[in-house]
């Protein structure tokens, strides 16, 4: 039941914020903040269970589960489960949700009730994506988080918000429908092979597929997750959506929505279709990862719109996630988890800072900025911290993630590792470019804006503490993710051989979640 509360609390909080917003415009932001604070309670219970080494009654890496019939005639259940990986993701969701509320405190003044309704429902949908283990339920939450984000962009966005919102909706909706077709295909193949029609992830893991069927179904899942990650050349929606979204929307987009794509690759693409993913598509995926890293860094350096620049850095950084997933060894997967968390914090903070600058200067044009260090020293120093995190400075969290990904990838593909490492040079260039153009040199606008206020200082301090802690002591995150990552690797090593669609496997092997060995670091499992 604890997992259902994680979704029910922001859902109910969103409705309350909308209702109260009709009476008093200031109440919804407090309702949203209180809702997310309350949502931390079940999370802290799970954290305590994780630290104590507890697992759900079902065994394996699961800390808790919640399973109720939903549409029994179709084999659809309301099945939620949390392991260490899910716990990290939902913790990140609530933390960045609080930061998003803080970033929109003064920016969002129009229809505040409806705004915080959409914000909390996006967070509820994202939490559902990280917890759902019924594939139909997973798709339900996948679509649930799309609609509120569309409204956030199209109603509270900037000048070209309609274009950006429609583009975001079309890219994610079309790719999501391809995933749904693949889910249905897996459902029918499994049903015909076993006589049991189900969307249960644990049972679908053992579905016997022909090589051709596995490739086509895997590509359906991959399409949705590659668009959301995003992977070049499917990335073009992202700069527009980031640029036109309000600051809280940009924080959620960069920090959380992109991570649903990374989570999907880890949880679904490789475990459900290990042979197709690691033998058929891995070389192409790693090539696209390198292209994303280099191309994103190059385009970031070419931008004069500060918000668009930060958006392109996400394309580059998420390339490391794609690279680590398809390297698929212990070091690389540890790096993927660290990169997911650290990118969420550092890029979310940069978008908050860009929003604060735009609110004060009424521009994001780097050609019009400059000389702001003396005027806003606190904001300048905080921006420098997160710019250094973005370039991968040792001692900050991003370095750990990228270093582990490169170490793991080296055992699989030396060429991709070397080329990806060049992307770190590009990150140094655009990070220093931000600081030079915005905070040093002449003050082109001739303005002396206000520095970070108390609310902004508290939010930025919290994010600095997190990114420094992850850089100096990442072990709690790595320990929390260790058992789930070992399990995911174990699933791929025990994948069923491709057999005719009429073949069945012993019922006792379906959904087995016993981890019996650690996969070697060198090479693919």
pLDDT in tens, 83-104: 999 999 999 999 999 999 999 9
In 245-394, where does DSSP find H-type helix?
247-252, 258-264, 270-272, 274-275, 282-301, 306-327, 330-361, 377-390
Residue 21: per-residue pLDDT? 87
Kindly state whether residue 505 falls inside one of the protein's structural domains: no
Residue 503: per-residue pLDDT? 32
Total tally of structural domains belonging to the chain: 1
Q: Coil, helix or strand for 524? A: coil
Q: What residues make up the domain containing 157?
A: 2-495
Query: Helix count (H) and strand count (E) of the chain?
Result: 22, 2
Kindly state whether residue 395 falls inside one of the protein's structural domains: yes
pTM for the structure as a whole? 0.89
Kindly state whether residue 503 falls inside one of the protein's structural domains: no
Q: Coil, helix or strand for 510? A: coil
| Overall average pLDDT of the 289-296 stretch | 94
Residue 178: per-residue pLDDT? 95
CA 337 vs CA 57, 222, 308, 313, 314: distances in Å: 26, 19, 25, 18, 15
Kindly state whether residue 521 falls inside one of the protein's structural domains: no
Kindly state whether residue 508 falls inside one of the protein's structural domains: no
pLDDT tier for residue 518 given thresholds of 50, 70 and 90: very low
| Overall average pLDDT of the 115-140 stretch | 96
Kindly state whether residue 58 falls inside one of the protein's structural domains: yes
Could you tell me the two tokens for 245?
Answer: 């979204």
Closest CA to 177 of 117, 220, 211, 115: 220
* Distance, CA of 354 to CA of 363 (rounded, Å): 10
Residue 426: per-residue pLDDT? 85
Kindly state whether residue 515 falls inside one of the protein's structural domains: no
Kindly state whether residue 509 falls inside one of the protein's structural domains: no
Tens of pLDDT along 50-77? 776 655 444 457 888 899 999 998 999 9
pLDDT tier for residue 25 given thresholds of 50, 70 and 90: confident
Place of tokens 């699989």: 412
Tens of pLDDT along 240-258? 999 899 999 999 999 999 9
């Amino acid at each position: 039941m604890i997992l259902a509360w994680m979704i029910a609390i922001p859902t109910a909080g969103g409705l309350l914020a909308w209702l109260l917003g009709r009476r008093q415009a200031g109440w919804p932001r407090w309702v949203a903040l209180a809702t997310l604070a309350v949502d931390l309670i079940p999370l802290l219970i799970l954290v305590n269970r994780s630290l104590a080494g507890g697992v759900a009654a079902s065994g394996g890496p699961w800390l808790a589960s919640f399973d109720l019939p939903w549409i029994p005639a179709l084999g659809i259940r309301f099945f939620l489960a949390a392991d260490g990986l899910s716990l990290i993701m939902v913790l990140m969701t609530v933390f960045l949700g609080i930061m998003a509320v803080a970033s929109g405190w003064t920016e969002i003044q129009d229809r505040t009730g409806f705004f915080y309704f959409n914000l909390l429902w996006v967070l509820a949908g994202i939490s559902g994506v990280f917890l759902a283990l019924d594939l139909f339920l997973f798709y339900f939450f996948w679509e649930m988080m799309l609609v509120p984000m569309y409204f956030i962009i199209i109603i509270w966005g900037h000048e070209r918000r309609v274009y950006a919102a429609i583009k975001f909706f079309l890219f994610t909706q079309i790719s999501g429908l391809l995933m749904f077709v693949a889910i249905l295909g897996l459902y029918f193949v499994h049903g015909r092979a076993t006589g049991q029609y189900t969307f249960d992830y644990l049972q679908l893991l053992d579905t016997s597929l022909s090589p051709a069927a596995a490739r086509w179904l895997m590509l359906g899942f991959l399409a949705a997750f590659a668009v959301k990650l995003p992977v070049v050349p499917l990335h073009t929606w992202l700069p527009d959506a980031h640029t036109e979204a309000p600051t809280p929307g940009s924080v959620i987009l960069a920090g959380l929505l992109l991570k649903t794509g990374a989570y999907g690759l880890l949880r679904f693409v490789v475990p459900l279709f290990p042979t197709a993913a690691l033998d058929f598509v891995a070389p192409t995926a790693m090539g696209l990862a390198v292209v994303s890293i280099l191309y994103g860094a190059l385009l970031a350096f070419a931008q004069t719109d500060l918000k668009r620049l930060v958006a392109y850095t996400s394309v580059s950084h998420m390339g490391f996630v794609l690279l680590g997933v398809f390297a698929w060894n212990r070091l690389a997967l540890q790096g993927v988890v660290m990169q997911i968390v650290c990118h969420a914090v550092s890029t979310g903070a940069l978008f908050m800072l860009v929003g604060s600058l735009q609110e004060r200067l009424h521009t994001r044009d780097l050609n019009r900025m400059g000389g702001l260090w003396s005027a806003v020293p606190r904001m300048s120093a905080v921006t420098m911290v997160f710019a250094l995190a973005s370039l991968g400075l040792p001692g900050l969290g991003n370095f750990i993630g990228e270093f582990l990904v490169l170490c793991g990838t080296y055992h699989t593909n030396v060429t991709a590792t070397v080329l990806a490492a060049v992307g770190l040079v590009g990150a140094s260039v655009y990070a220093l470019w931000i600081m030079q153009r915005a905070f040093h040199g002449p003050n082109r606008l001739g303005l002396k804006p206000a520095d970070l206020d108390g609310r902004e200082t508290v939010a930025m301090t919290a994010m600095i503490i997190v990114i420094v802690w992850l850089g100096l002591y990442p072990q709690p995150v790595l320990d929390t993710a260790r058992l789930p990552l070992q399990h995911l690797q174990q699933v791929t090593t025990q994948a069923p051989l491709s057999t005719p669609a009429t073949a069945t496997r012993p019922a006792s092997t379906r959904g087995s979640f016993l981890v019996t060995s650690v996969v070697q670091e060198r090479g693919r499992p």
